[in-house]
Structure formats: C-alpha cells, structure tokens
Amino acid sequence: MGTLKKQFGKRMKTLRTSAKMTQEQLANDVGVTIESISNIERGIHGPSFDTLEKIAEVLKIPVQDLFVFE
Amino acid sequence: MGTLKKQFGKRMKTLRTSAKMTQEQLANDVGVTIESISNIERGIHGPSFDTLEKIAEVLKIPVQDLFVFE
DNA sequence: AGGCAACACGAAGTTTAACTTCGTTACGAC
DNA sequence: GTCGTAACGAAGTTAAACTTCGTGTTGCCT
C-alpha cells in the first residue's frame, strides 16, 4: 500500500534535521514552498522527480540515501 | 542538471531485462501504458511516487535499488 | 504572561509533469 | 518477410505536485 510517501517523508525529516536545516531553509534552497516540504515530510505527497533531485543536492547526499528506511 | 531521470531510466531497464520482463509486461503489472514505461526508460520523464512504489514491487526489489547507479 | 520560531494541519485553488492516445520507424530473431 | 519488441514524436488529458491562503500547537525565551 501507499507507505512509501510516509517512509520517505520520515527519512527526509531525519536527514534535514541532521543537516541542521529548517523546513524554510530547505524549501528556499530546493525551490518550493515550506508547505510543500511540510506535506512531503508528513507523507501527504511525494516530491516530483526534479524536486527529488534537488532535495538530494541540497542535503548533499546521493538520492539513494533518501530511500534507506528503518 | 536533470540527469536523474536518465540514470533512473537506464537502471530500470537493466533491472527489467534482468527480470526477463518486456516493457508490456511491466506496464501491465504496474498499471500504466507501455509508452509510459518507454518514456521513463528513455529519461523523458520520471515515475510518480505511486508508480515508483509499484515498479519496485513488481520487480521485487527495494526502491533504494532503483537509485543505485554506475 | 507574552511573544517568537518552527512546524502541523486543512481546504481550495493552480500548475506542471506524469500519463495517455494516437501513429511511424527500426531492428533483430526466427 | 513478418513478428516481437522497443524507440521516438506530437498532441492531448489527467492526476498529483505545488501554491496560497489560514488556524492551531508546541516549546523556548525573557
């Protein structure tokens, strides 16, 4: 079922806080609104492929790492 | 730059052929058209998050593996 | 107590990109 | 020589990402 969005959101939040960034900083750097980041972290929706690429860039990690769960 | 879609498409094709599936089979099982699979593999566009989850399911691999490049 | 920072959360609207539906072309296998 | 598989284009539709409001909450600080 649709658990991927929630797992991804949780993982992204972990990585963002580890990087000591606020949702607002991440939103600005990625180029989306803070609400969008909030929605992604809460599993409301996932990022587009372009946004996914930018998130990894801003967090300075391989995209792969965003899909490492547990 | 927008290289993620191309890398992903290449990776997906590798995994699909390894699983000995045609684009048509994958499309049917995932629930999209063959053209969509073709577009994804060629890097025209990426999958939605829901489609991404189904692709990994059908290929019987963790989503993470779809983002292992080189 | 009051205020501020950071975020959760909802609803309703917009926009973009994923996805479809045509159709043509190519190439290897048999 | 045609069958299976897939590349590739254009143009249209749809769904999901994304925005723009706004309210509520939690924790920290003085």
- Cβ atoms within 10 A of the Cβ of B53, count? 21
Q: What percentage of chain A carries pLDDT values higher than 70?
A: 97
When pLDDT is cut at 50, 70 and 90, the band that residue A63 belongs to is very high
* A1-27 pLDDT tens trace: 569 999 999 999 999 999 999 999 999
CB B58 within 8 A of CB A14: no
CB A49 within 8 A of CB B45: yes
Q: Which of residues 3-32 of B touch strand D (CB under 7 A)?
A: 13, 17, 22-24
- A49/B48 Cα distance (integer angstroms): 8
Decide: CB of A17 under 7 A of nucleic strand C: yes
When pLDDT is cut at 50, 70 and 90, the band that residue A70 belongs to is confident
Residue A25 CA, nucleotide C5 C1', distance (Å):
13
The number of helix segments (H) and strand segments (E) in chain A equals 4, 0
For chain B, how are helix, strand and coil distributed in percent, rounded to 5?
A: 65, 0, 35
| Mean pLDDT, 10 residues at a time, chain B of 70 residues | 88 97 98 98 97 98 96
